[in-house]
Amino acid sequence: MQIKRRPHLIAVILILTIIILTVAGIAVGSVKITVSDILSAIFRPQSISANTAYIIRNLRIPRVLSSIVIGASLALCGLIFQCVFRNPMADSYVLGISSGASFFVGLGFVVGISFADVSLPVVAFIGSMLTTAMLFAISRKNTHSLLLSGISLNFLLSALTTLTIYLSDKRAENILFWTLGSLGNSNWSRLLILTCILLFAFIFVYSNCSSMDLLLLDDSTALSSGLDVKKKRILLLSVASVVTATVVCFSGIIGFVGLMSPHFMRILVGPKHRRLIPLSMMMGSVILLFSDIICRFIVPPSELPIGIVTSILGAPVFMMLLRRKRHG
């Protein structure tokens, strides 16, 4: 338990791990790249072949940076959902919110919206907000049924997404991309949008650390301590939905990162959100960077969808949590 007193040490370890995995993430792939190639591509691009420089600067670097940003975003969303619903097993994937965004994107394809269309994020956002609103309505009546309702919603929306694949056979590949998750479409402009949204979300959430701590107790205690519980919940859920929608839109459904990261960090540094938020986000980046390297490492030159790897890593954690909750 002494480790709970060392958030700074954990932060340093996570930052070092992110740096190491970032370099590894740029180096690993169908084209082998050395550390000196990476440095050359950044500082002296003329000193290496144009092809290698292009791969590093326009493919690998945006991809690993996207891993960092998306991993942090998923962890932040997971943390918000776990706090608002007071359930350590809640995250945007388990609760079906990612599937909601994915289903609406699928519907968008059926009605003819193209992959590059700017309205696609809006469609994903509507899907994620509607699913969150449904969950919120359910949890207001009975918080205990939230998880089962979320899992049911996830099944329903995943089935409906599959249905849209059948209905739009020519675009099936694009929709499949959403259901399994991939960082293969990362580029600088998408990275910029993701980073801006994450930054705004982080500033908002971090400035509400104490409110989130209070939400972990109970409504009466939070209210009597001066927190407008209803308003704060809606604001936090809206932020989480916007971030989820953006992530789903650009990388598809990537499961369990939002579940695992806050959980690991809660064990290490306790429930105080002032520590938990930044450390969980770093942990999310580490998990996604690591998963992306595995995706590209296992079946070169092809790659596995990243959602498969995160689910394989995350499902045992979910079962462990269920077990703990039952015994707790």
Partner 1 sequence: MIRIKDLCGGYEDNPVIKKLSLVVDKGGFTAIAGPNGAGKSTLLKYLIKELGCPQDTVFIEERDIRQISQNEIAKLISFQGQYVPRYEDFTVREAVALGRFSYGDVDRNTEEVDRALDLCGISGLADKYITRISGGEFQLAMLARTICQNSDILALDEPINNLDPRHQIMLLNLLRELADKGKTVLCVMHDLNSILRSCDKCILLKDGSIFSYGETKSVITEENIKAVYGIDVQIIDHQGKSVIVFK
Residues at the interface with partner 1 (CB under 8 A): 1, 86, 210-211, 213-214, 216-221, 223-228, 266, 270-272, 274
- CA–CA separation, 41 and 309 (whole Å): 29
Is residue 301 reached through a cis peptide bond, with omega within 30 degrees of 0 on the bond before it? yes
Cβ distance to partner 1 smaller for residue 94 or 214: 214
- CA–CA separation, 101 and 120 (whole Å): 10
Cβ distance to partner 1 smaller for residue 231 or 323: 231
Beta-carbon contacts of residue 2 (< 8 Å; ≥ 6 apart): none
Are 23 and 35 a contacting pair, CB within 8 Å? Answer: yes
Cβ distance to partner 1 smaller for residue 51 or 207: 207
Least distance in angstroms from the C-beta of 85 to partner 1: 11
- Up-side HSE of residue 97: CA atoms within 13 Å toward CB? 33
The one-character DSSP state at 54 is H
Least distance in angstroms from the C-beta of 227 to partner 1: 6
Closest CA to 284 of 267, 306, 312, 260: 260
Which structure tokens are listed for 252?
């598809």
Least distance in angstroms from the C-beta of 281 to partner 1: 19
Cβ distance to partner 1 smaller for residue 3 or 42: 3
The letter for the amino acid at 86 is R
Cβ distance to partner 1 smaller for residue 44 or 325: 325
Cβ distance to partner 1 smaller for residue 26 or 276: 276
Least distance in angstroms from the C-beta of 278 to partner 1: 15
Least distance in angstroms from the C-beta of 1 to partner 1: 8
Least distance in angstroms from the C-beta of 78 to partner 1: 15
DSSP per-residue letters across 238-256: HHHHHHHHHHHHHH----S
